[in-house]
Structure 1
Amino acid sequence: MADMFLDVPPVSGLSDPFPIRVSDVSPGGVVRIGVRTTDAAGVAWSSLTEFTADSEGRVDTCSSLPGSAEWSPANSLGPLWTLRPEHGTPGYGFSLEPSGAVGLDIRVRSTGAALGAGASRTIGRRAREVGAPTAPGITAARFFVPDDGAPHPGVVLLGGAEGGLPAAAAAELADRGWSTVAWDWFPRESGGVDVGDLRAALRVFVDHQLVAGDRVALIGRGRGAELALLLAVGEPDLVGPVVAHSPTDVRTNDPHAAPSATTYLGDACPVLDLPAPELGSVFARLRSRLRPALAHRPLELASYYADARREAGNEAVAAARIPVEHIRGPLLVTAGTSDAVWDSETMAGALAQHAAEAGIDAYAVVYPGAGHGVGWPFTPAGLPIPDTATAYGSTVLLGGDRTSSGAAATRSRDVVLEFLGQVHGGETP
């Protein structure tokens, strides 16, 4: 089987299809496709998937299903969704270089032969980074623009409670035609973030010479989706389209040990959080965190937020509801059915309904089996989806299975690109 031929695209976008084609195989022969990469943290990831060659001796990951049936229907990104760290904690997140470049080593061989053909390819994308406008309330920012250097519609990216800068996501959006800034905004401690400062930062960004138009789009996930909605409510003259991945429809409390802790300070509407559930004592609050830690299990927040909503009562929930009917829109909300952080499926539906009732164009997309925060460009379709994230000083369970979340990331890319392309310029898929 020495003549086995491997065809892999040498360069492609991180979320683009990634066809692996193998030919000159015995018809009906089993081919093992191995993928290996090392992330920015030096952690090695790999996957090994078996495919059966067709009657013409070919395997094409665009149309061939794996023997394990880990995903269905066929999808060329399947071998990338199923990458796992070779050493380390299950659920460890893939650490992406800020440039977004990933090198993949692809190896194929037949189960009935020695080592077959092999190749190494690089998946990357181009983006131009410029100095980010500075403003109070932003811990750090990175700003990417299309290669032509001309003004383009602006997008602000707001990650979730994991903090940090979604720089690679901003680079990918810039490659699609938007001037995109990524903000590191989530507070490291429970002291909170001043929403008034962030509203001022929006004005600075809108006025930048490389940002076209008088309104920007906001894209957020998790707590970032919550902030995007709060900013859109407070600044309808500055914020147009909003994409909210795994959102909440209420202003949520901060699940730190102190029940009075909050995330949002200053000029935000609504002005109150959903009250924290009463845990009875300091010891009870510590126990809710210590038990998962001692058992080496991630923190499951879904029950925490469900208890908060139930114990608060209808009046308090109504007071904390984000008045999405005051945004300009349009609005795109997405959610997974297996979100382990909070019930984003139900809350996304409520947000879309309230917006639509107010005459705002609103769209809700639900991804079966996906977990929390799955949404492009934060979760590039061509990377494995983590099971957990580090947030609130703990390891937090995100939910969903990786294959369903990977498929959701692929679909989300097309949905978000089409949405933004139609309502905010840029490129459509």
Structure 2
Amino acid sequence: MADMFLDVPPVSGLSAPFPIRVSDVSPGAVVRIGVRATDAAGVVWSSTTEFTADGEGRVDTGSSLPGAAEWGPANSMGPLWTLRSEHATPGHGFALEPSGAVSLDVRVRSTDAALGAGASRTIGRRAHEVDAPPVPGIRSARLFVPDDAAPHPGVVLLGGAEGGVPAAAAAELADGGWSTVAWDWFPGESGGVDVGELRAALRAFVDHPLVAGDHVALIGRGRGAELALLLAVAEPDLVGPVVAHSPTDVRTNDPHADPSATTYLGDAGPAVDLPAPELGSAFARFRSRLRPALAHKPTELAGYYADARRKAGEEAVAAARIPVENIRGPLLVTAGTDDAVWDSETMAGALAQRAAEAGIDAYAVVYPGAGHGVGWPFTPAGLPVPDTITAYGSMVALGGNRTSSGAAAAGSRDVVLEFLGEFHGGEAP
């Protein structure tokens, strides 16, 4: 038998297909494919997947299913979705700095080969960053533009309650032909966010010399999807297409110990949050967060938000409902069926229906088995999807399973690119 041959792209984008092709092995042999990487935080990630060689002695991760049926149908991203951190706390996300490349070690070995025989390659996955002037009016933001540094349609990215600047997501979107700014907008424990400041920053971004046209697109996930919808309602002359991953259809409260806490300060119609469910004494509120922490389990917020909606009653829910029928549109909403934060599947459907009834182009996509917040470009299709995030001062469960959420990230990439390409220019592949 000839020496095993390994073919893998030497350099590719974070969300580009990742075909690993192995040939010159015995037909029917079991081929183990191992992938290993060290993230920006120094955490080592690895996965090992077994495939069976076809009748011609070949394995192609783009068309071959793993022996343990860890995902299906076949997808070249599978070995990347199943990467696990070797020593980090469960739920730790893959730390990525978009100005650099992710280095991956790919090793393959056939079970019928001699001890030590096999093949290996070290390859790069990149997230492309271009320096550009900052956007005024936001405390923490990063702006990415295509290589030509010419004006392109503008996109604003709004992450969720985990906070931070979703810079890798912005870099990927800029690579597709959009001038993209990522905002770290979510407030800390000390207070809410000034919506007036965000609206002013939005106007400044529309006027930026590297932004083409008179309106921008907004993309948000989780609480960022909520904010994207609120801004689209408040500024219909400035905001065009909206992509809302795992959205809520009401203005929600923060699950802090103090039920009077709010996220939005100033004019952010609707003017009120969905009321927090009454938890009784201060000790009862403290216990509701302490118990999961003592058990070393993440908090599942779906019950909290369902309880808030049920106890508030129809009148309060109606008062907190986001008037999506007032946006300019079009609207794309996505959700996973196993969202552990809130019932985004039902709420996404309600948003799309109300927008469509108002004559707005509206599209809803639901991903079976996916959890909260999964959606491109926030979730690079070629990185493992975290099980939890740190938000509201505690560990919060996202729900879903990693392979379904990974497939949702890959699928949503095509959907988002097609949506933006049709309604907001760009040069998406």
TM-score relative to the length of structure 1: 0.98
SS in 2 for 1:333: strand
- Aligned partners of 2:98 and 2:126 also within 8 Å: no
SS in 2 for 1:390: strand
Amino acid across the alignment from 1:263: T
Alpha-carbon distance, 1:198 to partner: 0.3
Q: Show the 5 A alignment for 1:124-135.
A: 124-135=126-137
Distance 2:404 2:176 in 1: 25
Alpha-carbon distance, 1:100 to partner: 5.7
Distance 1:337 1:367 in 2: 6
Indicate whether 1:374 and 2:387 are aligned: no
State the partner residue of 2:360.
Answer: 360
Distance 2:284 2:319 in 1: 27
Q: Show the 5 A alignment for 1:396-415.
A: 396-415=396-415
State the partner residue of 1:336.
Answer: 336
State the partner residue of 2:82.
Answer: 82
State the partner residue of 1:273.
Answer: 273
Q: For each residue in 1:63-122, what CA deviation from the matched residue of structure 2 results, as whole angstroms up to 9, or x when unmatched? A: 110001001110000000000001122221111113262111000001122230111111
Alpha-carbon distance, 1:238 to partner: 0.4
State the partner residue of 2:255.
Answer: 255
- Aligned partners of 1:225 and 1:248 also within 8 Å: yes
Alpha-carbon distance, 1:2 to partner: 7.1
- Aligned partners of 2:158 and 2:219 also within 8 Å: yes
Distance 1:87 1:300 in 2: 24
Q: Show the 5 A alignment for 1:33-52.
A: 33-52=33-52
Distance 1:249 1:31 in 2: 47
Distance 1:352 1:399 in 2: 23
Amino acid across the alignment from 1:145: V
State the partner residue of 1:118.
Answer: 120
- Aligned partners of 1:339 and 1:398 also within 8 Å: yes
Q: For each residue in 1:338-391, what CA deviation from the matched residue of structure 2 results, as whole angstroms up to 9, or x when unmatched? A: 000000000000000110010000000000000000000000100000000000
Indicate whether 1:304 and 2:304 are aligned: yes
Alpha-carbon distance, 1:193 to partner: 0.4
State the partner residue of 1:26.
Answer: 26
Distance 1:157 1:101 in 2: 21
Distance 1:122 1:2 in 2: 27
Q: For each residue in 1:136-193, what CA deviation from the matched residue of structure 2 results, as whole angstroms up to 9, or x when unmatched? A: xx33000000001110000000000000000011000000000000000001224100
- Aligned partners of 2:37 and 2:102 also within 8 Å: yes
Q: For each residue in 1:242-274, what CA deviation from the matched residue of structure 2 results, as whole angstroms up to 9, or x when unmatched? A: 000000000000110000000000011000000
Percent of residue pairs bearing the same amino acid type: 83
- Aligned partners of 2:61 and 2:74 also within 8 Å: yes
Amino acid across the alignment from 2:105: D
SS in 1 for 2:131: strand
Distance 1:188 1:3 in 2: 57
- Aligned partners of 1:221 and 1:244 also within 8 Å: yes
* Structure 1 runs, 4 residues or longer, greater than 6 Å off: none
Q: For each residue in 1:5-41, what CA deviation from the matched residue of structure 2 results, as whole angstroms up to 9, or x when unmatched? A: 0000011111010000000000000100000000010
- Aligned partners of 1:250 and 1:321 also within 8 Å: yes
Q: For each residue in 1:375-416, what CA deviation from the matched residue of structure 2 results, as whole angstroms up to 9, or x when unmatched? A: 000001000000000000000000000000000000000000
- Aligned partners of 2:335 and 2:365 also within 8 Å: yes
Distance 2:427 2:362 in 1: 20
Structure 1 residue ranges without an equivalent (≥5): none
Distance 2:423 2:410 in 1: 21
Distance 2:369 2:102 in 1: 27
Distance 2:213 2:343 in 1: 35
State the partner residue of 1:186.
Answer: 186
State the partner residue of 2:324.
Answer: 324
- Aligned partners of 1:129 and 1:144 also within 8 Å: yes
Amino acid across the alignment from 1:11: V
Distance 1:42 1:2 in 2: 38
State the partner residue of 2:108.
Answer: 108
Amino acid across the alignment from 1:182: A
Q: For each residue in 1:309-361, what CA deviation from the matched residue of structure 2 results, as whole angstroms up to 9, or x when unmatched? A: 00000000000000000000000000000000000000000000110010000
State the partner residue of 1:199.
Answer: 199
Q: After superposing the two structures, state which structure 1 stretch, 272-281 or 87-96, moved more.
A: 87-96
- Aligned partners of 2:98 and 2:127 also within 8 Å: no
- Aligned partners of 1:190 and 1:261 also within 8 Å: no
Indicate whether 1:69 and 2:69 are aligned: yes
Distance 1:186 1:339 in 2: 20
SS in 2 for 1:129: coil
Indicate whether 1:209 and 2:209 are aligned: yes
- Aligned partners of 1:30 and 1:110 also within 8 Å: yes
Amino acid across the alignment from 2:87: H
Distance 1:202 1:338 in 2: 33
TM-aligned CA distance change 1:43 to 1:117, over 3 Å: same
Distance 1:2 1:304 in 2: 60
- Aligned partners of 1:146 and 1:176 also within 8 Å: yes
- Aligned partners of 2:2 and 2:24 also within 8 Å: no
- Aligned partners of 1:325 and 1:354 also within 8 Å: yes
Indicate whether 1:59 and 2:59 are aligned: yes
- Aligned partners of 1:417 and 1:427 also within 8 Å: no
- Aligned partners of 1:100 and 1:168 also within 8 Å: no
State the partner residue of 2:425.
Answer: 425
